[in-house]
């Protein structure tokens, strides 16, 4: 295991609670398109895209619970609603490779 603390690692390889090897991302890029019209006081926000790290267009299969919490706190987005699993690498049921 790397000497870098788990929370600071960009990605982790783990064996999840189901015994499957997974790649879990410790950071993501979120892009959201918004449309603002000066003639109409309505602002439309498009659906956000969540990319693994800075790999725009690469959808993460899983993120750490720390990332999921930050995304929820800052953007009010539950990553699970976007098909992204949340894995706690500190859980006794998860083995970090």
Residue ranges of the domains in the chain? 6-96
In this structure, how many other beta carbons lie within 10 angstroms of the beta carbon of residue 65?
15
The whole-chain average pLDDT of the chain stands at 91
Only one residue has tokens 């006081």, namely 41
Query: How far is residue 3's CA from residue 77's CA, in Å, rounded to a whole number?
Result: 31
Retrieve residue 22's tokens.
């997974």
pLDDT in tens, 8-53: 899 999 999 999 999 999 999 999 899 998 887 888 888 899 999 8
Report strand pairing: 95-96 vs 11-15. antiparallel
Retrieve residue 89's tokens.
């690498």
| Percent over 90 (pLDDT), the chain | 66
């Amino acid at each position: 295991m790397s000497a870098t603390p788990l929370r600071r690692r960009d990605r982790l390889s783990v064996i999840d609670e189901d015994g499957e090897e997974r790649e879990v991302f410790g950071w993501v890029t979120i892009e959201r398109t918004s449309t603002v019209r000066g003639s109409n006081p309505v602002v439309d926000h498009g659906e956000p895209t969540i990319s693994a790290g800075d790999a725009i267009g690469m959808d993460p299969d899983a993120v750490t619970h720390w990332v999921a919490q930050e995304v929820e706190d800052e953007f009010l987005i539950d990553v699970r609603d976007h098909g992204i699993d949340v894995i706690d690498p500190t859980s006794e049921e998860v083995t970090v490779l």
